[in-house]
Amino acid sequence: MAKPLNSLHDQVAERLRSLIFAGELSPGSWVDEVQLCESLSISRTPLREALKVLSAEGLVRHEPRRGCFVSEVTEQDLDDIFPVIAMLEGRCAHEAAIHATEADIQAMTLLHEQLQAHARAGQIQSYYATNFSIHEAIIAMAGNKWLAMAIGDLRKILKLARLQQLNAPGRLTQSLKEHLAIFAAIQVRDPQAASDAMHEHLTRQREALRSLRQSQNSRVQPTSISMPARTTTLTTLAL
């Protein structure tokens, strides 16, 4: 559950997150503080406090005498993060299978019906939004605030790249199958199966991102005067 935005710099931080996740502040780009202050009608103080928050979250990095830059998610970052979040969300699925109520199951049924409809229609943005709601529901059912906090921090970083994996050929259909497997395990109250299915789901997300990136790189046709292609970062599509 998101905490209320109690200060101006909290509101500015949330606005900057939105700009980053929408790709309006692109990975690696310099954060123009003067332009942002003008467009958001704020002073430098709340903006800089907001940038400190985003720096702590890993969404921007500060370079002395140069300012802030939007973070880039490297292949190594993804290799490091996905096993951790797979373990954490796997534990959430384990706990959810133990603690889920009938009301929880009914709510999850509706979400999975929506997920299937979006998958059939090939609506990636809508699919992802419902997918996000399902993950949030499982985290809530687990009832462990420390797990929720740790996952929330990592998901902010993965949000720079994670939706892109749904564009990999066949990934949307496979993702749906994985979600249905997780839900089936929760429905029958099988903690180990739920954990294993969630771990598999997130591992396959990483594999889809890697496959997609390799496919993109293979389509790059170098010329004698072209700059070397950057192969270590993923562009932001959303999440």
Structural domains in the chain?
Answer: 16-70 (1.10.10.10), 75-216 (1.20.120.530)
Q: What are the beta bridge partners of residue 60?
A: 70
Cβ-based neighbour number of residue 232 at 10 Å: 11
CA distances from 95 to 54, 88, 101 (A): 30, 11, 12
Beta bridge partners of 68: 62
Residue 74: strand pairing partners: 233
Distances (CA, A) of 116 to 109, 123, 167: 11, 10, 16
Query: How far, in Å, CA of 29 to CA of 72, rounded?
Result: 9
For residues 13 and 56, what is the distance between their CA atoms, to the nearest angstrom? 11
Distance of CA 47 to the CA centre of its chain: 24
Q: What is the pTM of this model?
A: 0.74
Taking the CA atoms of 230, 233, 234 and 238 in sequence, report the sign of the dihedral they define: negative
Cross-strand pairs, 233: 74
What number of helices (H) and strands (E) belong to the chain? 9, 2
pLDDT values of the chain reduced to their tens digit, one per residue, 239 residues: 445 556 888 899 999 988 888 778 888 899 999 999 999 999 999 999 999 999 988 889 999 989 999 988 888 989 999 999 999 999 999 999 999 999 999 999 999 999 999 999 999 889 989 999 999 999 999 999 999 999 998 988 888 775 456 667 788 899 999 999 999 999 999 999 999 999 999 999 999 888 877 776 776 555 443 433 333 333 332 22
